[in-house]
Structure 1
C-alpha cells in the first residue's frame, strides 16, 4: 500500500502551492501535473467548477516524470485507496490502469465523448468501457530560433542531418560572437518515458519501424534504427550539452527559453511560455514538424536476417510521437458521480478552448481547430493539424500490461547509446533479445 503519510504530505504540499487548501475535508481530490502552466490552468478550471457547483476540490500535484507518476498511481490504485478521485493519466495508461477506473459512459451517458478525436476515444476504451475522457492531445514538434536562422541564412531543417549541420554552424558562430552558453539542440534525454518518445521519433523518421508493430512484431533490430540512435549519440557534447542526458521537458525548455539553444524538441505547451513576458526568446520562435531521416544514405538498411520490413529503403517521413493526457475517475472514489461531473466539465469545450489559448494545450475537440481565437493564439495548431492527428502511437495497446517493461528497456538502452556505452547496432540487437523475452512471458 502506498504510505498514507507520504500521500498526505504530497497533498499538503500541493495545497500550499496551489493555494487550494480547505478548512475541512474537500468533496473531491484531483491530481494535476505541474509541467509548464499545467498546475495553474488546472487550478483555474477546478475553481470555476467549484463556483458553479458549490463543491470543493483539493489538488494533488504529482511528479513531473510520467514514469514516476505511473508508479505512484499503480501503488495507490492497487491498494484500492480513496485518496485521489480524479486522475490525470497519460495516453498510454488506459490499458495499464483500466481495471481500476470508472466507466464514464455509464455515469455520463453513451455520448460522453462526443466531438473528441475518435482515435483517442478508442484509445481510452478498454474492454468496451470508457475509462477516461480526453483532456489534451500532444505530438512532438521542433522549436527553432527564427531570428538566428534568418540571420545566418537558413530555412528550418527538413532532415535530422540538416538540423545537425545548421545547429553546429549557428552554435559555433554564436559562441565566437560571445555567447559561450549557446547550444545547437536540446531535447528530452533523461532515461524516462520522454526519451521513449524522442527515440521513437528518431527511429520511425528514419524508416526503422516503431519498436513493436501493431501485429506484435518486434521491429527494432534493423540498420535504420541503429543509424538513428547513432546520429543522436553524435549530438552529445557537440550540438547538445552533456547535461541533456538528464533533461526532461522543463530542463530543455529552460535552456531554449533562456536564449541558449537554436533548436528544441518539445511538446506544444512550450509555445505559450516561450511567448510570455520575460521570455528571452519572445517573438523570436518558430515551430515546424520534426525532421525526417533523409532518403537512403547512411541510414539505408543493408538487408539480412534481422532487418525489419520497415527498414527496406525508400523515402522517410517526419514522425511525431503521440502524447496527451486524459482525466479518469478512480473506481474507489467515494463520490464517483460528482468526480465524473468534474471530469466532464474540465474536458468540455469551454475549458479546452481556454487552455488552448492561455497555455497552448492541444484540444481533443476537432471543432476547436477551426476556432479563430484559438488559431490566433497558437497559429501552428492549424499549420500542423496533420501532425497532431497522424502522430505515431507508442506500442502500449499491443503490449498491454507489459508496456512499462517495454518502454523501460527502450529508453534505458537508448540512453546507453546517447551516453556512449553502446553503439546503435549493439543497442538494437540487445533490445530485440530483451523484448523477445518480455513478449514470451506477457503478450
Structure 2
C-alpha cells in the first residue's frame, strides 16, 4: 500500500500560515446540502442504509450524526448510524467478523488507511461511479485505496500525530517554546508537573495512547523513528530489536508513574484528550481531531500544537493515519450506499469536517481554503510538512496480526518489563509473518 504517500501531497499543498491557537476557534458550521438531492430522492427515497461510522472520540460521532441527518433529510434515504468501537483494533475485528460471515449488517463502513488490502475482496469497486470525484483527492491516498486496479474505498479524512502543549504553563514555568527533543519534554514535563501537583494532584506532565491496541503501534512508531530506532520493519526485515529502540522504549517505561499517570498504559485517544482537555496534563500526543474538542473546555485559549519531539539529529515525525469509506459487497442497496459515500467524501463535507472536527482534508483544495486554515494550526508549514512514517503494511493481510504483536509487547514494556527482554521476541515473531 502507498501509505507513505497518503497525506504528504494534500498537506504539502496546504502548507500555509494560520491564526494562533489562542485566538482561533471553530465557528458555527452546518453540514452542506446534498447535490442532486431531488433526483436521488426520486430514485432511492425510502430505501435504508446502515453506516458503520466513527467511534465516540471527541466530536466525531456527533459530526457523523449531523451529516447523516442532513443526507437523510435531503434525499429521503434512511440511514442508521452505528459507531465503531473506539479501539481501532476492535473495529478491525468487528469488520473481519462481519465480512467473513457475509453479513449485510453494514452498507457503508469506515476503514483505517492500512486496511484496504485486507478487506478488498469484500468491498465494491467505486471507480466506475466515483472516478471523477477521486481525482480531487490526494493521489497517494487513492493509490493506497486501489487494490488490483479496483478503487475499494474513498478518502474520508487524514491523520498524523502531533504534540499538544499548554502555552500558559510553559510561560508560567519559564519556557519560551515547546520541547524539541524527548529529553527536553521529560525535563519540562517534570518541572511543570511538580509545580501543578501542589494544587492539583491529578495533574501529570505527559499523556498519550499507551493501551495495548493500534494506537500504541502508532505512538511507538513515532518514538522509535524519531530516535533512530527504525520503523519496526526496514528493508523487508523486522528491525525493532536494536539499541536505540531499546533505549527509547526504556525511557518511555521510566516515565510511566513519574511524568505520566500510571494508568497511561490503559489510555486510548479518548482518555488522553479528556485528561488534557480537563487541564490535567502539560503535554499530549494525539491526532488533530483533539484540537476541536479542546477548544470547548477548560484549556481553550491556553494550548497550541507542534511537531512531536525527536532525539539528536533525527527528524521529528508523525505517524500517517486516516480513515476511508467503503461499500460492502453484501449491501442490499449498493447504489444508494455509493451516493452516501459520494456525499461524505465531497469537498464541501471535507470543509465541514475540518472546521467542525479538525479532520485533516484529503482534498488539497480544501486544505488551502481560508476558513479551514484559520481554525486549524496544524496546517502551518512547520507542522504540515513534518516527516511522515507509515506502519508496516508490507505485512499485507497479516498486518493486524503483526500490529498486535507490536502493541502487546510494547505495552508489556510500559508496564515494567525491560525492553531488551521483550524486543527480541517481537522481532522474531514479526519476521515469521513477513513475506519471503
TM-score where L is the length of structure 2: 0.87
User: Which one scores higher on RCO, CA 8 angstroms, separation ≥ 6?
Assistant: 2
Within a 5 Å distance, the mapping from 1:139-218 to structure 2 comes to 139-154=160-175, 155-176=177-198, 178-213=199-234, 215-218=235-238
- Does residue 377 of structure 2 align to residue 379 of structure 1? yes
Contact 1:183 1:240 in 2 (8 A): yes
**SS of equivalent residue, structure 2 residue 179:** coil
Residue number among 305, 309, 316 corresponding to 1:287 in the alignment:
305
TM-score where L is the length of structure 1: 0.85
Within a 5 Å distance, the mapping from 1:129-148 to structure 2 comes to 129-148=150-169
What's the CA shift for 1:111? 2.5
**SS of equivalent residue, structure 1 residue 391:** strand
- Does residue 379 of structure 2 align to residue 359 of structure 1? no
CA distance in 2, matches of 1:415, 1:64: 18
Contact 1:216 1:399 in 2 (8 A): no
What's the CA shift for 1:26? 5.2
CA distance in 2, matches of 1:107, 1:80: 23
**SS of equivalent residue, structure 1 residue 112:** helix
Residue number among 381, 386, 397 corresponding to 1:401 in the alignment:
397
Cα deviation 1:264-295 (Å, max 9, x = unaligned): 0001001011111xx111100110000012x2
Contact 1:107 1:337 in 2 (8 A): no
Partner of 1:420: 416
Aligned length: 389
CA distance in 2, matches of 1:185, 1:92: 28
Contact 2:273 2:290 in 1 (8 A): yes
Within a 5 Å distance, the mapping from 1:224-263 to structure 2 comes to 224-263=244-283
Unpaired segments of 5 or more residues in structure 1? 1-23, 296-314
CA distance in 2, matches of 1:373, 1:62: 30
What's the CA shift for 1:380? 2.5
CA distance in 2, matches of 1:291, 1:101: 38
Cα deviation 1:358-387 (Å, max 9, x = unaligned): 111111111122111011111222342213
Unpaired segments of 5 or more residues in structure 2? 1-44
Cα deviation 1:125-179 (Å, max 9, x = unaligned): 1111111000110001000000000111112000111000000011001123x22
- Does residue 97 of structure 2 align to residue 75 of structure 1? yes
What's the CA shift for 1:429? 1.4
What's the CA shift for 1:256? 0.7
Cα deviation 1:308-362 (Å, max 9, x = unaligned): xxxxxxx211111111111000011111121111101101000000111111111
What's the CA shift for 1:25? 8.4
CA distance in 2, matches of 1:216, 1:58: 43
Contact 1:26 1:58 in 2 (8 A): no
Contact 1:320 1:392 in 2 (8 A): yes
